[in-house]
Structure 1
Amino acid sequence: MAKYLMLALNGPTSGEGDEERCNRWYEDVHMPDFRKIDAVKSARRYQVVRGNLPGMEAWPYVTAYEIDTDDLVAVSKRLATEVGPAHPTMDRERSAHIWAIQISGDD
């Protein structure tokens, strides 16, 4: 079975209390929605404490999702339909993801 890593790069909007609300939603709703999909083997969120991204500001959070599947298209469709919409405190203008890096050397 192929193994993939999806990295979600994001952070909250800048209003008062937005970071707390966004983090609560991410931990209590968003990541559990991902974990309900059987191909998602793990979901871990990290707070960036230091980074070097020339020409841009680093994202405050990175989430790593490990996915095992031989049908990435089907998993992508499930994620699109079964994972709820982003919380209003998620800064969608600065959100990004790196999707479907096939893991090698782990056989």
Structure 2
Amino acid sequence: MARHVLVVHTRPVEGKDAEFNEWYDTVHLPDVLKVDGFVAAQRYRAEPSVHGELPEFPYLAIYQVEADSLPDALAALSTAAKSMDMGDSLDRSGMATYAYTAI
């Protein structure tokens, strides 16, 4: 079984950081981890880098995916997402999502 990661950069709606983090940790992560192939997840908050830089998105989630077909796993996530509670604290206009396969 191949190993992959799905990297998701997000930000909350302005003024809704606490609500966003509560929703992400208690609702969204468990929902995603119910999808076949999604086996683990870890969230991160941006901190200043070596020269004080901060990324465009303050939050990062890295999902570990174990699947023979990454496209199939991502399709399953897209299908499941249609019925997931996406809350109202996620700034949907400000997201970036990338997938990687282990080498």
TM class, shorter-chain normalised? 0.7 to 0.9
1:22-81, Cα deviation, whole Å (9 max, x unpaired): 11110011100111123112100001112447xxx5211100001011122321222112
Match of 2:24 among 11, 23, 26: 26
Q: Which residue of 2 aligns with 1:4?
A: 4
Q: Which residue of 2 aligns with 1:50?
A: 48
CA RMSD of aligned residues (A): 1.6
Whole-Å Cα distance in 2 between the matches of residues 50 and 42 of structure 1?
Answer: 26
| Poorly superposed stretches of 4+, deviation over 4 Å | none
Whole-Å Cα distance in 2 between the matches of residues 38 and 74 of structure 1?
Answer: 10
Give how far 1:85 is off. 4.8
Q: Which residue of 1 aligns with 2:96?
A: 96
Q: Does residue 78 of structure 2 align to residue 80 of structure 1?
A: yes
CA contact (8 A) 2:2 2:68 kept: yes
- Aligned positions, number: 98
Q: Secondary structure at the match of 1:25?
A: helix
TM-score, L = length of structure 1: 0.81
Whole-Å Cα distance in 2 between the matches of residues 38 and 77 of structure 1?
Answer: 10
Where does the alignment leave 5 or more consecutive residues of structure 2 unmatched? none
Whole-Å Cα distance in 2 between the matches of residues 63 and 92 of structure 1?
Answer: 15
Instruction: State the identity as a percent.
Output: 28
TM-score, L = length of structure 2: 0.84
